[in-house]
Copies of this chain bind each other. A is one copy, B any other.
Amino acid sequence: MTTDRIASLSPLLAPRSVALVGASENAARIGGRPLRYLREGGFKGAIYPVNPNRETVQGLRAYASMAALPEAPDVAILAVPADSMLQAVKACADRRVRAAIIFSAGFAETGDEGRRAQDEIAGIARDSGMRVLGPNCLGVFDAAAGYYGTFSAILDTAFVQPGPIAVVSQSGAYGSHITHLARERGLGIGHWITTGNECDVDVAEALAWVVTQGGVNVVMAYAEGIRHRDVFLGALDAARRNGIAIVFMKVGRSDVGARAVGSHTAALAGSDAVFDAVFRQYGVYRARTTAEQLDVAYACARGRYPASNKLGIFTLSGGFGIQMADDAAAAGLDVSPMPNDAQERLKAMLPYASPRNPVDATAQALTDLPLMTDYVRTMLAQGGYDMFAGIFGSGPATATFAASLRQVLETAAAGADDMILSLTMSAPREIVRTYEDKGFLVFEDGAALTTALGALVHFRRVFDAAASVEPPADTTRIALTGEPLSESASKAVLRQAGLTFPDEILVAPDEDVAAAAARIGYPVVLKISSPDIAHKTEVGGVIVNIAYDEQARRAARELLDRVRTVRPGARIEGLIVAPMIQGGVETIIGVTRDPVFGPVVMFGLGGIFVEVLQDVTFRVAPFGIAEAHRMIREVRGFPVLQGVRGAPPADLDALAATLSTLSCFAAANADTVESIDLNPVLARPRGQGVAPLDALVTLRTQQGSGT
C-alpha cells in the first residue's frame, strides 16, 4: 500500500468535518446516537446533520441533502436503511465527500442479492476514490478528538477515556465488547475502528493507518480473515519497527470455526496454520482468549518493556510463590535465584524467611514495617531482576494489611525506575488504581500476570530485532511456461534460483547409463525423468543401490519397461543417474500457495515427524536467513538436527540458506509457481551442506494435471 493510500484514510478516521445522513432527533436511534456522541464528546470540527424533514436536529442546523451542504465534508455517516443506501452513497460521491461510513446490515452477509448491492457500493468507492467503511459495521471513534462515527451502544452510558490502545476489529460486536472490558479496567482507548463487511476499507488498511499514528502503543485487533496480504504484512512490519505491540484475536483456528467464518463473512479465511506462522514471523502476539488479549494489551499500554526475562517474585505465602514460579516458567520467564550475597543480606534481616526466589518473607514480616520495606528494597536493588512480581491476594483490600502493604510497596517502587513492577491482588478498582498510579501493573490472577510479562519480553525481543530484519535477497525472475516440469527440469530451475543439488546426469532413453554411473561413482540410483510423472515411486520409477555396470543397464531397461507399460503416453526425457547419498537428517521443504498469503514455505523433519506428528512449520515468502533459523528451531524434532545418539549436528546454516533462497524464488515467481516439493532434503553434518534428493516444481497453469 502506498503512503497515499494510507493517507486517504485520514478523512475517515480523523476528519475535520462530519455529515450525518439520516440524522435523527431521537438520540437513542441509530441516526441520532452519533450526533449525540459528537456533540457530547466535544468534536471540534463542523457537524452537518442531513435531514430533509427538519430545520434542526438535536439543536444543530439541518440540511436537506448532501448537495445542500456548505462544503464537502471529510466523512459522511450514512444512517439510512439498506434499500436507500446506494442512493446515499452516490450522493456522497457526487458531492466529492472523501469518506463514508455505512452501518446498515443487509448486504453480502445475507446472500447474493445483498452481495450485488455491496459490490455496487464498492464500485462507486473505486471509481470516485471515496473511501467506504462497512457496510454492516459499527463505525469508528477517536476519543481524543471527540470524533464518533459510531452508534455502538457501549457508549450509551459513558465514553471511553482516550489512551494509548487502539482497537481494530472486523466484528463490531467484538470491538465493542473488548472496549467495554477495557473501560471497566480503567484503560484508555484512542482510535477505535470496526470494518464489518469490508467492501473497501479492511482490517489490514486500518492497521496500517493506526500504527503510523502518534500516541498508539498497542493495538487490539480482531479478524476472521485478511483481504490484502501486502497491506497487512506492511502494517505488521511497520508496527514492530515503530515499537507498537499488536495483540491479535484471529478466529477460525478450528475446523468448525473456519467453517463458521465461511458462513459469516466474505473474507477468505486462508489456512490458520499460515496465519499463525505470519504472527510468529512478524512478532504479533496471538491471544487465545479475550481475557488474555486484554491482559497483554494492558501490560503493553505503557510502552515499557523489560531488558531481559529475569523475574523476581515476592510473596508472603510460600504456596503463592511456588504457583507463580510455575506460571513464570510456563511463560518463558527466568526465575533465577538472587545472588548469594543478596540472599545472605536478606537472611540476616529475616532469618526464618526464604530469600532465594521466590522470595518468601512470610506474613509475620508485615509486623515490622521498616524492616519489611528495607527487605523489599534490598531485593529490588540487589536481585539483578528486570521484572518484579509481588503476590498479595486480598491483602491490599483488608483493613489489617492495606496500609502497611501500601507503604512497603510505594517505598520500594520509588527506587526501581528501570524495572517492570507488577502485583497480583484481588481488590476493588479504586485500590488497584492507586497502585497503577505508582507504576505497578496489577492483575487479579497470577497466571494472567506471568502471561502478560512473557508478552512484554516477547515484544522487547521483536522490537530489538525489527531494526535488523534483513530485506530478502534479490531474486531475478525465471521465465517459466505453463508446461509441467520433470525432476530434471525442476532441478535446473531451482539451480538457477541458487539452490544446490548433488551432481547427477540425465541420460537419454537410448544412451548407455553405465558410463554416466561410472562418472557419478557407484553405488547410484536411477530415476525416470518425465514431465508427465510427478510421483515416480507410484509407477516404480526409481531403483536404488545399483552397484555395477551390468546392474545399471538391467535397471535402466526395467525402469523404461515399467513406465512404458504403466504410463504409455508419458514423455520420457531419460533417466537420472544420481549418487546414493546417505547420512544426515531427513527433512522436507516445500512451497504451497495460501489463498490469502500466497507462496508459503514449509519445513519439517521427514518420517514420523511429518507423517505422524504433523510437526511442520511455515513462513510467508520471502524471508531472510535469520528468520529461516528461527523457523528451523520451531519444529519439535529440532533436537534431531542438533545431533542425537552420537550423530553430529546438522548443517543448520546451509539449511537456513536453502529455505531463504527458496522463499525468495517462490516470492519472485509467485505468478507462475503453484508449488514446490523438495523431499527428502538431507541435512548433512555441519560444513557439508544439504542435499535435496528429489525436486518437483509445479506451475500454476498445470494445476490439477499430471500425477
Interface residues of A (CB under 8 A from B): 28, 105-106, 109-111, 153-154, 156-157, 169-174, 176-177, 180-181, 184, 222, 224, 249, 251-257, 259-261, 263-265, 288-291, 316-323, 325-330, 335, 351-352, 354, 356, 358, 360, 362-364, 393-394, 398-401, 426, 444-448, 608-609, 611-613, 636-637, 639-640, 644-645
A322 touches B224 (CB 8 A): yes
Residue in B174, B181, B255, B636 whose CB lies within 8 Å of A426: B181
Which residues of B lie under 8 Å from residue A253 when comparing CB positions? 326
Number of copies of chain A assembled together: 2
B329 touches A255 (CB 8 A): yes
A257 touches B323 (CB 8 A): yes
Question: Do A445 and B289 form a contact, CB below 8 Å, given A254-B329, A322-B257, A330-B254?
Answer: yes
The CA-CA distance from A639 to B608 in the complex, in Å, is 10
B318 touches A260 (CB 8 A): yes
- Min CB distance A233 to B, Å, is 23
B257 touches A176 (CB 8 A): no
Give the residue name and chain of the B residue nearest to A172 (CB): B317
A445 touches B290 (CB 8 A): yes
B613 touches A636 (CB 8 A): yes
The 8 A-B pairs of least Cβ separation, nearest first, read: A171-B319, A173-B317, A254-B329, A264-B318, A289-B447, A257-B326, A257-B325, A177-B393
A256 touches B329 (CB 8 A): yes
- List 19 interface pairs A-B (beta carbons < 8 Å), by A numbering: A28-B400, A105-B362, A106-B352, A110-B352, A153-B398, A157-B398, A171-B317, A171-B319, A174-B323, A177-B394, A260-B321, A260-B322, A289-B327, A289-B446, A289-B448, A608-B608, A608-B637, A611-B645, A613-B637
The CA-CA distance from A177 to B265 in the complex, in Å, is 44
Question: Do A156 and B325 form a contact, CB below 8 Å, given A110-B352, A180-B394?
Answer: no
Which residues of B lie under 8 Å from residue A612 when comparing CB positions? 636-637, 639-640, 644
The CA-CA distance from A445 to B322 in the complex, in Å, is 26
Which residues of B lie under 8 Å from residue A169 when comparing CB positions? 319
Question: Do A263 and B356 form a contact, CB below 8 Å, given A322-B257, A364-B105?
Answer: yes
Give the residue name and chain of the B residue nearest to A327 (CB): B289
Residue in B264, B330, B362, B363 whose CB lies within 8 Å of A319: B264
The CA-CA distance from A354 to B109 in the complex, in Å, is 10
Which residues of B lie under 8 Å from residue A174 when comparing CB positions? 317, 319-320, 323
Residue in B105, B173, B263, B399 whose CB lies within 8 Å of A320: B173
The CA-CA distance from A181 to B425 in the complex, in Å, is 11
Give the residue name and chain of the B residue nearest to A315 (CB): B173
Which residues of B lie under 8 Å from residue A111 when comparing CB positions? 352
A319 touches B256 (CB 8 A): no
A354 touches B264 (CB 8 A): yes
Which residues of B lie under 8 Å from residue A257 when comparing CB positions? 322-323, 325-326, 329
Residue with the greatest number of chain B CB neighbours at <10 A, chosen from A28, A354, A393: A393
The CA-CA distance from A291 to B327 in the complex, in Å, is 13
The CA-CA distance from A446 to B260 in the complex, in Å, is 16
The CA-CA distance from A363 to B112 in the complex, in Å, is 21
Which residues of B lie under 8 Å from residue A263 when comparing CB positions? 318, 354, 356, 360
Residue with the greatest number of chain B CB neighbours at <10 A, chosen from A289, A444, A645: A289
Residue in B173, B398, B446 whose CB lies within 8 Å of A290: B446
